[in-house]
């Protein structure tokens, strides 16, 4: 038998499989109607185990594993299809649509905004990029920003979330699970780090450099080239610059923004000391209330998965099936649960897409944990 005939057989088999798939999904729809009428849950683990055991035995030893994967995927699709029928009027969908309807058409030009650090920080620059005329209230650390938004002291807060060189800002991710907030906007900022010191100080005199740990990470090559200089972590790059300005030491310098020089009377010792000239940081704008502005095209969420093989794959495959691009996947341990993790995901998608919002509604019913962080636009 030649290849063309074999391909013809495959095509005929696929056509039969598609018809059987359509029939199976229709039966799934009838089942969900029964479950809704009798107030039964979609997921029946005992039934699924029974099906997987049966088909793996029917497939034979050689194809047993493949059959389990195939039918595991089929049952995932069936649950997703059933969830969509049940979630048409769900509380999650209603909440998202209500938030989108009450959100103003334009992002505010001015507001009271919480920022970490002091004037001259990169977060302040990000704040100025997000808002035309922000009224900024500064806090010493990231947690102060979360607290200000959570307690209603500030309507918004701006925080760094990820750097193209240093990776995720772990302190921010670690705080996310402790506070109630939503992401309503974001921006990307080019970050150039400079070495600044008091006027008249030469590089040969410097014995200590202070800065935020992210800046230190982004300038690691420069710092490693000078092992004789001690490196000390500081709460914020702008706070480090301010500390140098207020010190009488002539052997102290800070890695910070160029703007800090003019603000705090410091001079440039070395310019652009970051590892990569193409160095960018992503910032998020958070609020206590859910706001979804027109043009929102990025979704952020937190989701836990069952502690069993294939669980993360099944989660990601749901988005892949809809053609949704996953741009971020970060895992953090769940306190009190050995080697179980909460996953943070960023998606190129919008809640205006019916398929996406119904998938999110399905995930919102998971027992392991789900938090919708927001749908927003990044500038």
Q: Which residues are part of the catalytic machinery?
A: 281, 283
Residue located via tokens 């990601």: 316
Residue 117 near residue 239, CB atoms below 8 Å: yes
Closest CA to 173 of 376, 345, 312, 316: 345
Q: Which residues of 197-207 are buried (b: 16+ CB within 10 A; e: fewer)?
A: bbeebeeeebe
Q: How far apart are CA 304 and CA 341, in angstroms?
A: 6
Strands 370-376 and 325-333: unpaired
Closest CA to 210 of 266, 283, 280: 266
Q: How far apart are CA 145 and CA 178, in angstroms?
A: 12
- HEC profile for 161-178? EEECCCEECHHHHHHHCC
- Helices then strands, counting H and E runs in the chain, come out as 13, 15
Q: Which two tokens stand for residue 279?
A: 């160095």
Q: Which two tokens stand for residue 208?
A: 């200590």
Residue 212 near residue 236, CB atoms below 8 Å: yes
Sign of CA dihedral 237, 241, 246, 250: positive
Q: Hey, is 121 helix, strand or coil?
A: coil
- HEC profile for 142-162? HHHHHHHHHCCCCCEEEEEEE
Q: How far apart are CA 96 and CA 182, in angstroms?
A: 12
Angle at 149 between CA 212 and CA 329, to 5 degrees: 60
């Amino acid at each position: 038998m030649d290849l063309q005939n074999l391909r013809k057989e495959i095509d005929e088999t696929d056509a039969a499989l598609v018809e059987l798939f359509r029939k199976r999904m229709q039966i799934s729809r009838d089942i969900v109607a029964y479950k809704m009428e009798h107030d039964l849950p979609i997921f029946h683990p005992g039934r699924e185990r029974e099906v997987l055991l049966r088909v793996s035995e029917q497939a034979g030893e050689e194809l047993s594993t493949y059959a389990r994967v195939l039918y595991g995927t089929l049952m995932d699709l069936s649950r997703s299809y059933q969830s969509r029928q049940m979630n048409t009027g769900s509380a999650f969908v209603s909440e998202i649509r209500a938030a989108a309807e009450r959100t103003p058409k334009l992002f505010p030009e001015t507001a009271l905004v919480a920022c970490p650090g002091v004037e001259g920080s990169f977060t302040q620059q990000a704040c100025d990029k997000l808002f035309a005329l922000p009224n900024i209230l500064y806090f010493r650390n990231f947690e102060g920003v979360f607290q200000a938004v959570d307690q209603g002291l500030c309507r918004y807060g701006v925080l760094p979330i990820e750097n193209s060189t240093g990776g995720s800002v772990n302190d921010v991710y670690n705080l996310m699970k402790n506070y109630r907030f939503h992401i309503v906007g974001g921006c990307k900022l080019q970050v150039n780090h400079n070495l600044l010191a008091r006027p008249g100080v030469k590089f040969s005199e410097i014995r200590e450099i202070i800065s935020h740990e992210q800046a230190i990470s982004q300038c690691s090559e420069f710092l490693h080239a000078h092992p004789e200089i001690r490196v000390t972590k500081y709460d914020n790059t702008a706070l480090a610059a301010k500390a140098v300005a207020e010190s009488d030491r002539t052997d102290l310098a800070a890695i910070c923004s160029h703007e800090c020089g003019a603000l705090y009377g410091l001079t440039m010792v070395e310019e652009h000391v970051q590892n990569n000239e193409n160095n960018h940081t992503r910032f998020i704008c958070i609020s206590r209330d859910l706001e979804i502005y027109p043009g929102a095209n990025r979704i952020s969420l937190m989701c836990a998965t069952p502690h069993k093989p294939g669980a993360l794959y099944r989660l990601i495959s749901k988005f892949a099936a809809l053609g949704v691009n996953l741009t971020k996947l970060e895992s953090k341990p769940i306190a009190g649960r050995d080697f179980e993790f909460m996953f943070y995901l960023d998606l190129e998608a919008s809640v205006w897409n019916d398929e996406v919002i119904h998938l999110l509604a399905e995930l919102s019913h998971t027992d392991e944990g789900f938090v919708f962080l927001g749908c927003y636009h990044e500038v």
